[in-house]
């Protein structure tokens, strides 16, 4: 069986582009069932087909060679776009694998030639799937970071006083976000008192306590005094049982108590409705 040269395959694909792409488009459109417009699908397939032919023209049938750099880039972009639009891995890969149906219609390519093209399409589909998976992981990581920031607000509750109401588990990653947001807010607002409220933290263990201490130390380095509020009876018992020492850090049972202390420490007695 005679091996068909890549540039000969390129010529065949170029000469039969209209017929191959028509079958490819119909097959992909049927598989995707309206998930994307026919016009958009046709534009994507046009870019992929042209880059495929150019790679073959450069003398290669291996996707991992420089000849197909442009094609890999196009497939990565399409996969990333599909991932962000909520397509499934199958929907993303099947749009590429559907090219096989168009190749089967090529009567001019037989034996090693069609086998080489089909193997190349398999590689295209697998690369698309891998690119989709990588894009989804990046999106999930990005969304997790966004949720982390949204779940850790730093709010100004009075002139010179900011509060960090924590809800949920406090781990190393979240502690880093808390410290960064708290320090930035202290600088932006010129506040000298920070309240870290742990009413919404379900449990305090040694690790959580260490994270709280790190946050307090970071705020103090910026010249702000810190109060930890939300020390419920169960939390207090746990802290005592674990032998956790908060040292000279002020703690209060509620955010309201911590706010009163902060107002008094800043000589804001008028705000409390009392005389100095």
The Cα 12–Cα 146 span in angstroms is 49
Do 229 and 195 meet the contact criterion of CB atoms below 8 Å apart? yes
**What's residue 96's pLDDT?**
93
Q: Find the DSSP H helices in 166-232.
A: 172-189, 206-221
Q: What is the pLDDT of residue 53?
A: 95
Question: Distance between CA 241 and CA 148 in Å, rounded?
Answer: 30
**pTM score, two decimals?**
0.59
How far is residue 66 CA from its own chain's centroid? Answer: 29
What pLDDT, on a 0 to 100 scale, did the predictor assign at position 65? 94
DSSP type of residue 190: T
pLDDT at site 276: 42
Helix pair 233-242, 206-221: axis angle to 10 deg = 100
- The number of residues making up the chain comes to 276
Q: What is the pLDDT of residue 147?
A: 64
- What is the Cα 19 distance to its own chain's centre? 40
Domains assigned to the chain: 6-146 (1.10.490), 155-272 (3.30.750.24)
Per-residue pLDDT of the chain (276 residues; tens, 9 = 90+): 446 788 888 998 998 899 999 999 999 999 888 888 899 999 999 999 999 999 999 999 999 999 999 999 999 999 999 998 889 999 999 999 999 998 887 765 556 678 888 899 999 999 999 999 999 988 887 777 666 655 678 888 888 999 998 888 777 777 788 888 888 899 999 999 999 999 888 888 888 888 888 888 888 988 899 999 998 888 888 888 888 888 888 899 899 999 998 888 766 654 555 444
State the DSSP string of 136-169.
Answer: HHHHHHHHHHHHHHHTS--EEEETTEEEEEEES-
Question: What is residue 67's predicted lDDT score, i.e. its pLDDT?
Answer: 94
* 3-state SS assignment for residue 270: helix
């Amino acid at each position: 069986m005679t091996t068909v040269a890549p540039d000969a395959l390129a010529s065949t694909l170029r000469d039969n582009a209209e017929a191959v792409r028509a079958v490819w488009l119909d097959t992909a459109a049927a598989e995707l069932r309206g998930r994307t417009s026919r016009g958009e699908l046709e534009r994507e397939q046009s870019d992929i087909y042209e880059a495929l032919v150019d790679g073959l023209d450069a003398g290669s049938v291996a996707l991992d060679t420089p000849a197909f750099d442009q094609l890999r880039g196009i497939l990565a972009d399409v996969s990333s776009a599909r991932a962000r639009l909520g397509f499934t891995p199958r929907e993303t890969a099947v749009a590429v694998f559907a090219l096989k149906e168009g190749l089967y219609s090529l009567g001019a390519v037989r034996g090693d030639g069609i086998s080489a093209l089909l193997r190349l399409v398999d590689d295209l589909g697998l690369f698309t799937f891998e690119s989709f998976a990588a894009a989804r992981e990046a999106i999930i990581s990005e969304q997790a970071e966004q949720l982390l920031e949204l779940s850790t607000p730093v709010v100004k509750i009075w002139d010179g006083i900011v509060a960090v109401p924590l809800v949920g588990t406090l781990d190393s990653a979240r502690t880093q976000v808390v410290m960064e947001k708290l320090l930035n807010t202290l600088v932006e607002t010129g506040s000298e008192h920070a309240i870290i409220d742990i009413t919404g933290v379900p449990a305090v263990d040694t690790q959580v306590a260490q994270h709280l201490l790190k946050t307090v130390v970071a705020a103090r380095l910026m010249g702000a005094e810190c109060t930890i509020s939300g020390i419920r009876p169960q939390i207090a018992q746990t802290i005592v049982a674990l032998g956790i020492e908060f040292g000279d850090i002020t703690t209060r049972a509620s955010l309201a108590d911590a706010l009163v202390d902060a107002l008094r420490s800043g000589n804001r007695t008028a705000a409390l409705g009392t005389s100095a």
